[in-house]
Amino acid sequence: MIKTSLLTFLLFCGVTLFAQDDSEFKFSDHLDQKRIDLFYNGTLLTSYDYADSIKKPVLFPLNTVSGITVTRGFPIAPRPGERIDHPHHIGMWLNYEYVNNIDFWNNSTAIPYKDRNHYGTIVHDGVVKTEADKTHATLEVTARWINHQDQILLREETQYSFHVKDDNFIIDRTTTLIAYSGDVSFKDVKDGLLGIRVARELELPSTEAITFLDNKGNPTTVAAINNDNVTGEYLSSEGITGNNVWSTRGRWVRLDGIKDDQAICITIIDHPKNIGYPAYWHARGYGLFAVNPLGQEVFSKGKTKLNFGLKKDQSVTFRYRVVIHEGDELFPKEIDELATEFANKD
């Protein structure tokens, strides 16, 4: 009786006995650091990072619902044992290697100053809207794609929709690109469009060093390093596995692995309204997990060509769903259901 009366009295006085306010999504804006954090149940899920040094806005890091980080730390927050190749691979991003002969994909502070006129930057313009409640969060932002002379090639309008379903942290990204100052061409190349650079533990085991060339012939060597705790494996919607997923088409691809003693999987899902659906997958064993509907000539070895373009003031919209899962295996049937739900959403 005393306990009941005390509880009633405390509630009447407005005393919060349980952290009810933490059981929801919350944004935390850090203007001085050009970063917006997203929390769920008090745990950081991701941050929208638009620091000038990154050369594009990114989501970094990406975490599971319990807070396990699934993205590589380098170059923002390096961790022991991880690779330090491709400094432009940061978190999750969307850009392209060839926009009017300007390379947005490979740009970073590592580019020598004398070569920077060949590279483009995506500059965050502003936040249109943030909404967060117990089940969903929405972030709407704008940006501009500029060349080295600050000429705007594209205007970008992006909406991130976040929600948690069971053990899944789900990110739906919708990005509209508008040709601003004139016609814009997206030549068929391999480096694009939506990319994630995953943690070392989620890479595919490899014993070989590999050298990659960008569109200007600049080499990047991915060294063979210790495979301890490296556990990643790809699976596509078409049943293709491992490194064989690269350059194939499919409506989704799943990457499985073990990190921090937990089973993890990251799935990227294409949308039927996207150009080139089902897309080609630029999924590499060393940790680059990307989907590229625009590089058809490269991936098909010349059998098909797209060379997509926009006339001035025309626009194109890309829609992708990313599912970050922790725990028991996320089976293809479940992914198909998430893909169908996503297809019917828009």
Mean pLDDT of 256-280: 98
Distance set, CA 227 to CA 84, 205, 224 (Å): 15, 6, 9
- CA angle, corner 141, sides to 191 and 255, nearest 5? 40
pLDDT band at 213; cut points 50, 70, 90? low
Would you say the C-alpha torsion 344, 138, 191, 287 has a positive or negative sign? negative
Report the mean per-residue pLDDT for the chain. 92
Amino acid at 125: D
Mean pLDDT of 67-75: 98
pLDDT band at 221; cut points 50, 70, 90? confident
Q: Which of 9, 49, 44 is nearest to 30 (CA)?
A: 49
Supply the DSSP string of 127-147, one letter for each residue: EEEEEE-SSEEEEEEEEEEE-
- CA–CA dist 274, 293 (Å, integer): 8
Q: When comparing pLDDT for 136 and 8, which is higher?
A: 136
Q: Which of 310, 332, 259 is nearest to 68 (CA)?
A: 259
Task: Tell how strand 92-96 and strand 192-197 pair up.
Answer: antiparallel
Residue 193, preceding peptide bond in cis (omega within 30° of 0): yes
Secondary structure of residue 293 in the 3-state scheme: coil
- Class of residue 113 by CB neighbours under 10 A (exposed 0-12, middle 13-18, buried 19+): exposed
pLDDT band at 220; cut points 50, 70, 90? confident
pTM over 0.75: yes
158: which strand partners? 141, 175
Using the CB atoms, write b or e for 29-40: b if 16+ within 10 Å: eeeeeeebbbbb
Answer yes or no: is pLDDT of 205 > 90. Answer: yes
User: What is the structure's pLDDT at 8?
Assistant: 38
Residue 57, preceding peptide bond in cis (omega within 30° of 0): no
At 2-53, the pLDDT tens digits run 333 433 333 334 333 333 445 699 999 999 999 999 999 999 999 999 999 9
Q: Which residue has the tokens 């967060």?
A: 132
pLDDT band at 217; cut points 50, 70, 90? low
- CA–CA dist 161, 319 (Å, integer): 11
| Domain range annotation of the chain | 61-345
User: What is the structure's pLDDT at 113?
Assistant: 93
Answer yes or no: is pLDDT of 291 > 70. Answer: yes
Answer yes or no: is pLDDT of 88 > 70. Answer: yes
At 157-193, the pLDDT tens digits run 999 999 999 999 999 999 999 999 999 999 999 999 9
Secondary structure of residue 319 in the 3-state scheme: strand
